[in-house]
């Protein structure tokens, strides 16, 4: 059964230095609050996994949480580059970041294989691409019936997966809807899991065949209203495009980035505090 | 520039020309940015039955404004259904159900291979680009592929530093020999013209030039000695209806998001 | 785009002698009407695929439609044996029936692999079972990363899949809910597909992330209210347990079976006709 | 028979004894028929938090009447969620999330291997049984397995004609050596007693006998020379509450379906 617990406690007890950690959410429901809490608690040596590392991984990488990134598309969606990610890869700042690079199809299948307790994912993929030349974890196997060559990549099996969802009930069953990405697979592929939710309700009122994660398959459920900001939670909030654009100049300079993270994340107690300070600084900027 | 070209920008004719290639009823796997603009323009004009699929999960999306990212809420709310991202890649793309993959690119080469990974050596990159995303499998598994990007010597290079997604590899029958199922990129639409692969060598050839653009301009914007089709056509100018629909769409998008179009993300 | 068409026409144009045909539905939404129509039209030489062959396959096998059966559990759920299936396997009546036998996990994965356009399915399965000794299509492959041995079976790729669903809209988009079984995978694994539906509506009113099959991925949609009888369609009808029990004595004898099929299926025009005659004969039986 | 046994039938004590083995909070993959009766009885009595998963897709089913088939509507309507059958087998069973697999069987052997496939040679069967269903992977992948079936020499055979689902194979460490992850069948519950595997040899041993049953009766109902535990216990009689709950459940089921319990289907 999932414990319903404050996010701070969930991160303290479930995310350890050196862990392989996946924060998932495909544009929608990105667990920003949980990412901030991992930064605040100073986690180090993480292998970060995520199909689309965007602002939250830019922040975690820039703050030195990660030594390795497993991913398939790293950018600021609709805006451009992730400057902290690029600085880590291109200049090794704040330290070298090892990368293991896949395609979306590869990553999605690797999560499915992880959730299915298979050691590897099988797909038609990577043909003609240079990715297998730079990623020794892209191999090829032969079909025992047709002798066709198919791509094989290791399953993703995170120590802990973190997602954001719309609702949980008081027992800790979680409901999410809209763009689901790979979140269900990422949770089921992981040894431990944290789900931040917009609200806790008496009854999920889930439609038939909805995406429900049963409480007993989760480690912790943490109420964090707005915890996906600047991403969105369908039915609760809209994506804040201004913030995605505002991030670009902040992240360009190491000093600006550090100062911003200090003020907005390290010096705030929690995500509500972050939102308050951010509101102030955005007012100043206008 | 001729009088006709005064009515639209180079980006507009690129977008309209790209959208015209999408036939009604086509099932299209849409990349974000320019491909999404062109595909939605097609849906709002000549191809109301086009089926737009985004890698985040929406099938049959009919957004009223352009998505800024691959997972905007409007995509989900207007779709016939929203499935998981693994299902999109497994059952719908790999399943062989996509007619057209519509992609952007940072760089293409003369055989329409795509780079979105890196400039410079992989282990000591000059520029780290976002990476593959869905493109490698879209490029190989869609029945055909359209690529849309602005033409410049930096973007159109003789040899890519990194092949992220396969076009025709080394040309000729190299793609088929590598066992790649789809037909590959059948058109590269730019702000200067349309390039299509030579039927035999698969080398990208300028087969249509936008009105007001000279062949010299296109050659100068290409990092190899670009072949010009002996049968070179002039791209039809955007009709008033398409242009109005595009501008409406972008105005709605700007009003909704505070910016137009969506980047390459 | 799916054609909305009478079932008779759909079967006539889409199901051919010698085809590999999957009728799926896991207790819920079993396409009985379509099975009857295949019998009425006298199809021969079919390879029938189904995880849980039950009454409808008992009828098709007994009427000589099938030369091969690929399956994982063949019985009359809640009642006992399938007598026509057993007679075909044990006595070769009406002719020899080749069987290819899997586990549910194997079949479910084989449909997933078919829908995914993979030549084979990969699973942890069949370990310690004698099934691989009698089914040469159960093989084993080695993980290229861990050297673990995993089971491999060929994908199921039917020529045509037939399912029953609750609703379609006027464009032919289909919605089903409740117990979904392998129907989505079976449809997407097939070259052609027929969906019988309870009703055609203006608007599916599908909840977020519902199981919707888009019209363009289907061949034909056929309105057949009650077309799953004696199985059920959630929200429309209940399972008729009396019929499952009544089937047992009918199917025990070859002659009784033949006479019953003649009167109820061959001599009726369609499923509505079958239901009328069945109502009469069940009244007689009381 | 003693006075105590007059109050319940052999099937009732079997069902109640089986249900008692299910601990509260356990995640149980439920076979139809006797296992489903026992698992639901546990849920309605001492184990309200037991999570029942059926192979047709329901997770956390709380049926008010016993399902006759693996896909009854009541299972879907009362479940926490209903997923596809592939997902049940891939993410939940193979994913390693099942504590107890609760199975029926046509035959078991002395090492708790299960046959549900065939009597006689495979190519010329005397009796064609329904086949494997979900059992081979439930038997191998659930953390432990309970088997419930009535005891008779036809059902309890020294050597199976066909091993559909693995128990302890040839006994000893054969199961682990074959790379099968779960602990295997830890209890076989019959209408006469409870058999559990010897810790070392893994041979099924009578460790509990139902009140009113003699050791000779159990031996006579077993197709091999059944070992009797030196520490043989007498099965606790069903308490009044469990018995009342079981009878209520079966009465509700009979009223709803016109029959009790559900067969092996």
Q: Is residue C110 part of a domain?
A: no
Closest C-alpha among D194, D145, D193, D191 to residue D166: D145
Same domain (yes/no): A215, A202: yes
| pLDDT value of residue D72 | 86
Distance in angstroms (rounded) separating the CA atoms of residues D127 and D114: 16
Instruction: Residue window 165-204, chain D: list those with CB within 8 Å of chain A.
Output: none
- If one compares C203 and B68, the residue with the highest pLDDT of the two is C203
Q: Is residue A140 part of a domain?
A: yes
- Taking an 8 Å cut-off on Cβ atoms, the answer to whether C117 and B60 are in contact is no
B-chain residue closest to A130, CA distance: B163
Q: Cα distance from D64 to chain C (closest Cα, Å)? A: 15
Q: Which domain holds residue A162?
A: 3-101+157-282
- Taking an 8 Å cut-off on Cβ atoms, the answer to whether C101 and D132 are in contact is yes
| pLDDT value of residue D261 | 42
Give the per-residue SS3 of chain A.
CCEECCHHHHHHHHCCCCCEEEECCCCECCCHHHHHHHHHCCCCCEEEEECCCCHHHHHHHHCCCEEEEEECCCCECCCECCHHHHHHHHHCCCCCCEEEECCHHHHHHHHHHHHCCCCEEEECCCCCCCHHHHCCCCEEEECCCCCCEEEEEECCCCCEEEEEEEEEECCCCEEECCCCCCHHHHHHHCCEEEEEEEEEECCCCCCCCCEEECHHHCCEEEECCCCCCCCECCCCCCCCHHHHHHHHHHHHCHHHHHHHHHHHHHCCCCHHHHHHHHHHHHHHHC
- Put simply, whether A105 touches C (Cβ < 8 Å) is no
Same domain (yes/no): C125, C34: no
Alpha carbons within 13 A on the beta-carbon side of B77: 12
pLDDT band at residue C73 using 50, 70 and 90 as cut-offs:
very high
Q: Is residue C109 part of a domain?
A: no
Same domain (yes/no): C17, C95: yes
Mean pLDDT of chain B: 93
Q: Cα distance from B84 to chain C (closest Cα, Å)? A: 8
What is the pTM assigned to this prediction? Answer: 0.97
- Taking an 8 Å cut-off on Cβ atoms, the answer to whether C28 and D125 are in contact is no
- Taking an 8 Å cut-off on Cβ atoms, the answer to whether A185 and B84 are in contact is yes
Same domain (yes/no): A237, A139: no
Question: Which of D77, D88, D120, D131 has the most C C-beta neighbours within 10 Å, making it the best mutation to test the interface with C?
Answer: D131
ipTM: 0.96
Residues of chain A positioned with their CB less than 8 A from the CB of C177: 207-209
- Taking an 8 Å cut-off on Cβ atoms, the answer to whether B60 and C214 are in contact is yes
Structural domain boundaries of chain B? 3-257
Given its phi and psi angles, is residue D54 left (phi above 0), alpha (psi -120 to 50 degrees) or beta?
beta
Distance in angstroms (rounded) separating the CA atoms of residues D143 and B101: 45
Res B221 pLDDT > 90: yes
Question: Which of B91, B92, B93, B98 has the most C C-beta neighbours within 10 Å, making it the best mutation to test the interface with C?
Answer: B91
Q: Cα distance from D52 to chain A (closest Cα, Å)? A: 12
Q: How far is CA C228 from CA A257, C36, C164, C168, C198, in A?
A: 62, 11, 7, 15, 9
Distance in angstroms (rounded) separating the CA atoms of residues B98 and B59: 11
| pLDDT value of residue B259 | 55
Residues of chain A positioned with their CB less than 8 A from the CB of D27: 216
- Taking an 8 Å cut-off on Cβ atoms, the answer to whether C145 and A139 are in contact is yes
B55 is catalytic: yes
Chain segment A111-151, per-residue pLDDT in tens: 999 999 999 999 999 999 999 999 999 999 999 999 999 99
Closest C-alpha among C152, C137, B136, C106 to residue A142: C152
Same domain (yes/no): C171, C46: yes
Chain segment B15-66, per-residue pLDDT in tens: 999 999 999 999 999 988 899 999 999 999 999 999 999 999 999 999 999 9
Q: What is the mean pLDDT of residues A210-229?
A: 98
| pLDDT value of residue B69 | 84
Same domain (yes/no): C32, C171: yes
- Taking an 8 Å cut-off on Cβ atoms, the answer to whether A209 and C145 are in contact is no
Q: B with D: 3 or more CB pairs under 8 Å?
A: no
Domain CATH number, residue A201: 3.40.1080.10
Question: Which of C22, C29, C73 has the most D C-beta neighbours within 10 Å, making it the best mutation to test the interface with D?
Answer: C73
Instruction: Residue window 83-142, chain C: list those with CB within 8 Å of chain B.
Output: 112, 115-118
Res B163 pLDDT > 60: yes
C-chain residue closest to A179, CA distance: C209
Same domain (yes/no): A26, A56: yes
User: One of D12, D55, D137, D203 is an active-site residue; which one?
Assistant: D55
Same domain (yes/no): C24, C79: yes
- Taking an 8 Å cut-off on Cβ atoms, the answer to whether D96 and A206 are in contact is no
- Taking an 8 Å cut-off on Cβ atoms, the answer to whether C124 and D83 are in contact is no
- Taking an 8 Å cut-off on Cβ atoms, the answer to whether B27 and C212 are in contact is no
- For residue B60, give both structure tokens: 């049959």
Distance in angstroms (rounded) separating the CA atoms of residues A129 and B141: 13
Instruction: Residue window 66-95, chain D: list those with CB within 8 Å of chain C.
Output: 68-73, 75-77, 82-86, 88-90, 93-94
3-state secondary structure of C217: helix
| pLDDT value of residue B50 | 98
| pLDDT value of residue D6 | 52
Residues of chain B with pLDDT > 70: what percent? 95
Q: Cα distance from A209 to chain D (closest Cα, Å)? A: 5
Q: Is residue C200 part of a domain?
A: yes
Q: Which fold has domain D3-257?
A: Glutaconate Coenzyme A-transferase (3.40.1080)
Closest C-alpha among B229, B238, B186 to residue B207: B229
Q: How far is CA C81 from CA B65, C249, D129, D265, in A?
A: 58, 11, 7, 9
- Taking an 8 Å cut-off on Cβ atoms, the answer to whether D83 and A209 are in contact is yes
Same domain (yes/no): A149, A60: no
Res B2 pLDDT > 70: no
Which of A1, A115, A173 faces D91 most closely, judged by CB atoms?
A115
User: One of B4, B49, B55, B137 is an active-site residue; which one?
Assistant: B55
Same domain (yes/no): A148, A191: no
Distance in angstroms (rounded) separating the CA atoms of residues C229 and C275: 9
Same domain (yes/no): A60, A164: yes
Question: Which of D33, D86, D174, D180 has the most C C-beta neighbours within 10 Å, making it the best mutation to test the interface with C?
Answer: D86
Q: Is residue C88 part of a domain?
A: yes
pLDDT band at residue C268 using 50, 70 and 90 as cut-offs:
very high
Distance in angstroms (rounded) separating the CA atoms of residues B172 and B69: 36
Measure the CA angle with vertex D152, ends D148 and D155; round to 5°.
65
Residues of chain A positioned with their CB less than 8 A from the CB of D56: none
Mean pLDDT of chain C: 97
Res A254 pLDDT > 70: yes
Those residues with Cβ within 8 angstroms of residue D265's Cβ, 6 or more apart along the chain or in another chain: C75, C76, C77, C78, C79, C80, D32, D33, D68, D69, D70, D130
Number of structural domains in chain A: 2
| pLDDT value of residue B261 | 42
Same domain (yes/no): A61, A125: no
| pLDDT value of residue A116 | 98
Q: Is residue C210 part of a domain?
A: yes
Mean pLDDT by groups of 10 residues along chain D of 265 residues: 64 97 97 93 97 97 90 90 98 98 97 97 94 97 98 97 98 96 96 98 98 97 98 96 95 79 37
Residues of chain C with pLDDT > 70: what percent? 100
Q: What is the mean pLDDT of residues C64-77?
A: 97
């Amino acid at each position: 059964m999932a414990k319903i617990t404050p996010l701070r406690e969930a991160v303290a007890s479930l995310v350890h230095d050196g862990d392989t950690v996946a924060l998932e959410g495909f544009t929608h429901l990105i667990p920003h609050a949980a990412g901030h809490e991992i930064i605040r608690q100073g986690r180090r040596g993480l292998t970060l996994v995520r199909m689309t590392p965007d602002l939250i991984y830019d922040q975690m990488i820039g703050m030195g949480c990660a030594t390795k990134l497993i991913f398939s598309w790293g950018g600021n969606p609709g805006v451009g580059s992730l400057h902290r990610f690029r600085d880590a890869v291109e200049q090794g700042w704040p330290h070298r970041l090892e990368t293991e690079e896949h395609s979306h199809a590869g990553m999605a299948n690797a999560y499915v294989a992880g959730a299915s307790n298979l050691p590897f994912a099988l797909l038609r993929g990577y043909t003609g691409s240079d990715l297998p030349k730079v990623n020794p974890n892209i191999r090829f196997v032969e079909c025992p019936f047709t002798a066709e060559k198919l791509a094989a990549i290791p399953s993703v099996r995170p120590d802990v997966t973190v997602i954001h969802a719309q609702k949980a009930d008081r027992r800790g069953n979680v409901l999410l809807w809209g763009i689901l990405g790979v979140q269900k697979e990422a949770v089921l592929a992981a040894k431990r899991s944290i789900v931040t939710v917009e609200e806790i309700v008496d009854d999920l009122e889930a439609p038939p065949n909805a995406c429900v994660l049963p409480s007993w398959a989760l480690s912790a459920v943490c109420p964090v209203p707005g915890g996906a900001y600047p991403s969105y939670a369908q039915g609760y909030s809209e994506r804040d495009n201004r913030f995605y654009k505002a991030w670009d100049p902040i992240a360009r300079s190491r000093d600006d980035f550090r100062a911003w993270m200090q003020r907005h994340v390290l010096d705030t107690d929690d995500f509500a505090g972050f939102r308050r300070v951010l509101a102030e600084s955005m007012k100043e900027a206008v | 520039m001729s009088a006709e070209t005064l009515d639209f920008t180079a980006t507009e004719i690129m977008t309209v020309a790209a959208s015209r290639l999408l036939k009604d009823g086509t099932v299209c796997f849409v990349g974000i940015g320019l491909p999404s603009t062109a595909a939605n323009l097609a849906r709002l004009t000549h191809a109301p039955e086009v089926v737009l699929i985004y890698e985040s999960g929406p099938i049959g999306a009919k957004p009223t404004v352009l998505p800024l990212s691959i997972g905007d809420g409007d995509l989900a709310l207007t779709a016939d259904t929203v499935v998981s991202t693994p299902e999109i890649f497994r059952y719908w793309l790999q399943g062989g159900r996509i007619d057209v993959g519509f992609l952007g690119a940072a760089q293409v080469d003369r055989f329409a291979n795509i780079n979105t990974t890196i400039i410079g050596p992989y282990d000591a990159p000059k520029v780290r680009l976002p990476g593959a995303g869905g493109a490698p499998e879209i490029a190989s598994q869609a029945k055909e592929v359209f690529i849309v990007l602005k033409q410049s010597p930096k973007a159109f290079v003789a040899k890519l530093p990194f092949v992220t997604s396969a076009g025709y590899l080394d040309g000729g029958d190299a793609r088929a020999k590598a066992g790649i199922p789809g037909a590959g990129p059948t058109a590269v639409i730019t702000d200067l013209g349309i390039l299509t692969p030579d039927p035999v060598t698969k080398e990208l050839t300028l087969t249509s030039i936008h009105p007001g653009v000279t062949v010299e301009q296109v050659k100068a914007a290409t990092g190899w000695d670009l072949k010009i089709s002996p049968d070179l056509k002039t791209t039809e100018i955007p009709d008033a209806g398409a242009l109005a629909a595009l501008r409406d769409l972008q105005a709605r998008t700007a009003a909704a998001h505070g910016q137009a179009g969506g980047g390459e993300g």
